[in-house]
């Protein structure tokens, strides 16, 4: 452990989303009591506390006596604010429960910015671009609104087979983000919470949309092929030779060839709706890889 201080450190309460965080000063440097951050993300404090005390941040953790939200004094494990981004990114969003993933990503994107803004300017400012929702309390639905919408999503997919609930949940969230023009559901403006709830409630969940497609039965290649007939020959997972016809509107190509074909002037034709779905899927994949 880095250090222990018995002097009472003055704490500053910073509103973040629909919760509050603490910021304390020691020797002119900002420190963050970690329990409010961890619990605000929806994670278990006991587990994260053990990791903080035994992991790579143990040498910089400082125990300070400071004032909690209730006005009482507590000894808290505090991390230097400059180390907070590193700790935030040590949380793998892809490994937490699906219902917590959005909130974890929000904290990774914005938490340290809000605290630095308070430290440098004396108040939590809007670190986003002009015209975007502020992150302070009351401007967006925040984590409380996100959890409310999450309950609606959970209810929508609860009747689906367990193995496809995760894909259906991701699809509903991606469509919600697109509909309200946000990266995270927590960024939805507070005055649009009812609209978001109604959007999710009205979303048509079709079980077949998320079921894996069954492999077609192997066929024989005709001896007299026409110019438009194509067949795909491959070995399936059971080591058996398979032959399947390739539809006229289907293409067999590598990911690199596909991107070149879509963006090239003489490439394949893809409908705007299909391109939009592809872009959403690609952005979602990139986000999870960065978070992991």
What is the token pair recorded at 17? 């989303």
pLDDT tens track for 55-75: 888 899 999 888 777 778 888
pLDDT at position 28, please? 84
- Per-residue pLDDT band for 266 (boundaries 50, 70, 90) equals low
CB under 8 A, 24+ apart: contacts of 52-56: 52/77, 52/79, 52/87, 53/1, 53/77, 55/90
User: Higher model confidence: residue 175 or residue 240?
Assistant: 175
Is the confidence at residue 229, as pLDDT, over 90? no
**H helix count then E strand count, the chain:** 10, 8
Percent of the chain with pLDDT over 70: 76
Which pTM value belongs to this model? 0.43
pLDDT at position 85, please? 86
Is the confidence at residue 248, as pLDDT, over 80? no
Q: Which domains does the chain have, with CATH numbers?
A: 3-121 (3.10.260), 142-210 (no CATH), 231-291 (no CATH)
pLDDT tens track for 201-222: 887 776 555 545 444 556 677 7
pLDDT at position 238, please? 67
- Per-residue pLDDT band for 43 (boundaries 50, 70, 90) equals very high
Nearest-angstrom CA–CA distance, 288 and 107: 15
- Per-residue pLDDT band for 4 (boundaries 50, 70, 90) equals low
Across 109-129, average pLDDT: 66
pLDDT at position 217, please? 59
Is the confidence at residue 154, as pLDDT, over 50? yes
End-to-end, the C-alpha distance of the chain in Å comes to 27
Task: Decide if 24 contacts 33 (C-beta within 8 A).
Answer: yes
Q: Quote the mean pLDDT of the chain.
A: 76
Across 184-206, average pLDDT: 81
Q: Which residues make Cβ contacts (< 8 Å) with residue 18, sequence separation at least 6?
A: 137, 141, 142, 143, 144, 145
Where residue 261 falls (left for φ over 0; alpha for ψ -120 to 50; beta otherwise) is alpha
- Per-residue pLDDT band for 1 (boundaries 50, 70, 90) equals low
Q: In the chain, which ranges are E strands?
A: 3-9, 11-16, 19-26, 29-33, 62-67, 73-80, 231-235, 241-245
């Amino acid at each position: 452990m880095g250090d222990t201080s018995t002097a009472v450190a003055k704490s500053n309460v910073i509103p973040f989303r629909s919760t509050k965080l603490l910021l304390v000063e020691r020797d002119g440097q900002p420190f963050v009591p970690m329990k409010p951050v961890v619990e605000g993300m929806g994670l278990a404090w006991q587990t994260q506390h053990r990791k903080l005390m035994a992991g790579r941040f143990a040498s910089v953790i400082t125990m300070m006596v400071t004032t909690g939200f209730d006005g009482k004094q507590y000894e808290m494990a505090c991390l230097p604010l400059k180390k907070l981004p590193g700790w935030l990114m040590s949380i793998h969003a892809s490994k937490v429960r699906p219902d917590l993933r959005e909130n974890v990503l929000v904290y990774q994107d914005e938490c340290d910015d809000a605290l630095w803004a308070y430290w440098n300017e004396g108040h939590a400012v809007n670190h986003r671009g002009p015209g975007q929702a502020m992150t302070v309390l009351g401007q967006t639905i925040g984590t409380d609104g996100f959890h409310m919408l999450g309950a609606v999503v959970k209810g929508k997919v609860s009747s689906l087979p367990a193995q496809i609930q995760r894909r259906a949940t991701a699809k509903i969230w991606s469509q919600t983000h697109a509909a309200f023009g946000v990266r995270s559901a927590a960024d939805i403006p507070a005055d649009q919470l009812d609209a978001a709830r109604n959007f999710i409630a009205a979303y048509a969940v079709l079980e077949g949309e998320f079921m894996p497609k069954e492999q077609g039965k192997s066929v024989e290649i005709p001896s007299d092929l026409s110019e438009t007939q194509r067949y795909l020959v491959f070995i399936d997972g059971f080591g058996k030779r398979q032959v399947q016809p390739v539809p006229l509107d289907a293409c067999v190509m590598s990911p690199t060839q596909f991107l070149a074909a879509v963006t090239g002037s003489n490439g394949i034709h893809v409908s705007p709706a299909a391109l939009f779905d592809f872009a959403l899927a690609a952005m979602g994949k990139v986000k999870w890889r960065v978070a992991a």
